[in-house]
Each structure stands twice: as structure tokens, then as C-alpha cells.
Amino acid sequence: MSERKITKRTAALLVLTLWSGAPAGAQEEQAADQGRVEPVRLIDCPTAGLVGKGHFGVDLRFFPQGGVLGQLNAGVLDRLSIGLSFGGEQIIGDQDVDWYPRVEPAIRYRVIEENQALPALVLGYETQGYGAYRSGRYQIKSKGVFLAASKNYTGPLGQFGVHGGLNLSRENSDQDGDLSGWVGLDKSINEELGLVAEYDLATNDNNRSALGSGDGYLNLGVHWSVVPNLSLSLLLKDILDNGDADMSRELAVRYSEEF
């Protein structure tokens, strides 16, 4: 690994560490019996959260080039949730819409519930990536088969969550099918505002034909719970300028409800 890549990865981990020192997150888990849906991801990377049984969550992501991504997740059992997603570029704008090639499925099963000693552990599969779709893959590859762990803490500074995971993406048209992973943090500021940060190693997107350059993706976000079932998020993505992608500003909207 080059000195430049080591420096960028070190900087990314330092930002995550400093970010955790701020008071934290609208990403704190909400119990299903309160009618709230647990967050299922930080920004692009999954947490060990699940949509509660009998609840659904609708997420809309607005990204560059007039892009819109819609995701629907529903809790079908206490430990099992399923989802679908679809979107495309130029949905907002005056150009022809460039739809994604298919509706993408997602499924999660919680293997271990969080307790004082162990984090929550979720085994999942999702084929939805992020950004433009080019040459048989998304700009930010889908996670594919993944294992996500989350541990939440409560202290004088509020809620604080630590997250991480490993994944093996199904998108290997660039002949880079390496195992990858991520780490992330979330902290609450108050009952309405929260901060979140994630670093996607993207080790499956760093060969000669890849879109990434091997620096990984560092993303930051601010979440605002407008009302109990509705939240808005401002996202700053790819701060390290990994590969062909430029740093982008995105907006996410989330609504949750019983069915």
C-alpha cells in the first residue's frame, strides 16, 4: 500500500475518532413497541438495526445528476426484515431518465440481540449500490452478503453507537471481488439532532479497472428528527475523493409507520 493511501486511511480513522467526541445521534435505535423504526444503516453502510415486526420504513435519497433512490424495508418477524429498492439518474432535471437496471432486494436476520457483553449481530444480503450505474456495477458497490455488528452506549454525553461489518459484494464485473468492510460511529446531540460518520474500506474497488483508487470512502452526516416518524439527513460523501468520484452533497428523507 502506498504512503499516500496509508495517510488517507489514517486521516479517515482520525476523523471518525474526533467525530465520536461530539455529543450523539439521531441514529439511536428506537424500540419497535414505541412505533419507531431502528436505523438500518449509517449512510451507505448497514448497521445491525432492524425494522420492527409490523412496521415499515421508506427512505428517499437525492444524489448528484438528478438522482433519486427509493428504499422500502418491512419487518416481517421479530428477527427478520425484507426490503426492495429502485431508482435512477436524471429523475430530477430535463434529460431522459436513466433508470437503474432492476429492482434490488434486501434481507436481514438478527443472529444475536445486543446485551451488556455482546453487540447486536445481523446477517444480511443486499444488492443495492449507490450513485451512478456503469459497466455492470454501481459507483459505490452494493454490500452483497454482509455481517454487521452494532453496540450502543448511554452516558453523560448521550447516546453513542459503534458499528462495523464485513461484506462480499456480488458486483465483480471489474474482476475485484475482494472481501471488504467498514466502521462507523453515531452520537446524539439532543432528542432531535445527531451526527454520524462511516469509513468504507472499499478493498473490493481498487484494482486497475476499478472506479475507486484504494483510499476508501469517508462519509459524514447530520440527522434531524422533524417529528417522531420523519427525519431529514444532510450527507457529505467521499471526503477523501476516492478514485473517479468527487465529494458530493446529498439529502435523505426517512418515514416510518405501522402497517
Phi/psi of residue 32, nearest 5 degrees: -65, -30
Sequence-ordered list of residues with C-beta below 8 angstroms from that of 10, at least 6 positions apart, any chain? none
Cα separation values, 52 from 7, 36, 214, 223, Å: 40, 8, 36, 20
Q: How confident is residue 223, by pLDDT bands cut at 50, 70 and 90?
A: very high
Which CATH class for the 3-258 domain?
mainly beta
Give the three cell numbers for residue 259. 402497517
Cα separation of 226 and 230, whole Å?
6
The band of 80, judged by pLDDT with boundaries at 50, 70 and 90, is very high
Kindly state the cell numbers that stand for 237: 460523501
pLDDT in tens, 87-129: 999 999 999 999 999 999 999 999 999 998 899 999 999 999 9
Q: 3-state DSSP call for residue 186?
A: strand
Pairing of strands 104-112, 120-126: antiparallel
Q: Alpha helix (H) ranges present in the chain?
A: 3-19
Q: In this model, does residue 157 exceed pLDDT 80?
A: no
- pLDDT for residue 243: 75
